[in-house]
A and B are shown apart, each in its own frame.
Chain A
Amino acid sequence: MATEYVKYVDVTKCDGCRACMVACKNWNDLPAEPQDFLGTMQSHANVTADTWNVLTFVEHENSKGNLDYLFRHSSCFHCTDAACEKVCPENAISYTDKGMVVVDQDTCVGCGYCVQNCPFDVIQLKNYKDENGKEYRKAHKCTMCTDRLDEGLQPACVTTCHTGAMEFGEKDDIIRKAEKRVNEIKERYPNAMVYNPQGVGGTHTIYVLAEKPSVYGLPENPKVPTSAVLWKDYAQPIGKAMVGGVAMALAGAFVANKFFDKKNGGHEEDGGGNRE
């Protein structure tokens, strides 16, 4: 793998303007999803197939009894060890050379295993209709603007962030930066931490959180389900090896057969069959 890059989100610098949400829609040409008022400032309850990132607003009473209004840019974490990639039966989900997790829309069959297994609930299905009126589904999520990264640009959400709450850079630099920032804000936010969960091998969106992950509705220690590991790392390769073995045997038999036929006709002229 080439150099790993990560998106850095410092929630303590976020002012909740939601430009990242709009920038994402603007770059990826995603349609608007009008919602009813949810009773808070939050526009959408969760990430959807057409809204790849959502700014969450949490009203939290801190240890001093004061109100903390916590904002968080929520989108795909691009896990190093991604559950969605593990469970995908069609191998439609893969890692890019920079470490991002992407869905190949042509291969996806819309089975929804990734949706069920994502520890962060950030991949969703979208319904489509083909020209015969037959319904089908595809999984969609944040791509970390992989097309922009390939052209040397940064993700759309990062480029638009006016408070500098989001940055994009090399993984090691960003982790150092995040740890430094946590030390700076410890006085104001005693529970501040870097969120880069190791249960999924670390992520490619690294957060500086002002509170414990559970306050933001994040799992404290997300894991790839054991069944997914068994499926991808053991069951699938063995199954594939068997299919491959059969295919090779068939191909081999076909080729060998051709030679046998030829041998029957032309063995005498060729001559010197078993000289060695």
Chain B
Amino acid sequence: MSPAAVLSGLLAVEVPYWASSVIKLGVVALLVPTAALVLGYVFLLKMMSFMQSRLGPMEAGPYGTLQLLADGLKFIQKEDIFPEKADRTVFALAPLVVLISTFLIYVVIPTGPDAVVAQLDVGIFYALAVSSLSVVGILMAGWASANKYALMGGLRAAGQLIAYELPLVLAVMGVVIQAGTLDLQKIVAAQAQGEIFGWDGIGNPFILTQFAGFFIFLVAVQAELTQPPFDMPVAESEIVGGYQVEYTGFRFLFFFMGEFGTAFAFAALAAVLFLGGWALPWGDLEHWAFNIAGPAIMLVKVLAVAALIFWFRFTYPRLREDQLQRMAWKFLIPLSLANIVVTGIFKVAL
């Protein structure tokens, strides 16, 4: 039930438990920065530039592909500055808390029948719970910086993340009701083996029946990432970066990796929940070849969802604080509750 099991199958050697754990940790530890680099380059540097009729970075490597690596090296060389009045321990730990929350989400994302770090019975519930840990890190950063802009940003972030966590969780409920499980692997299987009015040509990706859920999930993810149009907590033009304002060097890099790594993880969760995950609706789901094809299929779907997320990011102007709260409490939450009720009725009636 793990990449190590696949490996041992292919090489015909027995991989002990500790070794498979080390392999899994290594894969996740490599995946998060890579995911952040890919999303940062493809969307933040290139897609945004093209939408604004400019080329973006072109000098570092072919078409500027190495720009973010160069930026990363630059960040690591910078001085590690603590503000004079800062609470040093809390200040130092805050970016780590955010990054750990990101790492923990990757643990349950499946990319093949055996290619998953841990298949949990509570799957999606676990992913949403650990993603909510990042708020603690953001509040720690906002408070420990001893800076009024940082504190303001931290408070705004907390208010926003609490408000949008509800629609995020409630949007997933529709999928869970339809699949009848929280386990991400079984949600993938339910879509691959499902059928639309008896026709099983493309399985039954839940985006068809749960389109409202997909929409709410994407909007809530946008707010959870504090990206435009929901970037009140970091708004450069009024609070100069919010909770990140005092951070420099590799600690700032951690926040950047946390943001884009989480964007990738949420895009992957959306791909699993609504687009069928790593599976194709044809062929045997247990076939070993899916362990190799699965990650590639996943990547295509993740990039498609990420393209949507970043398209919103580059298109819409920032929402005001009151508009932002009204959107969550008076529009998204009632809509997601209605979606749950309707899904429940169909589930019982059909």
- Bound together: no
Please report A residues at the B interface, Cβ cutoff 8 Å. Answer: none
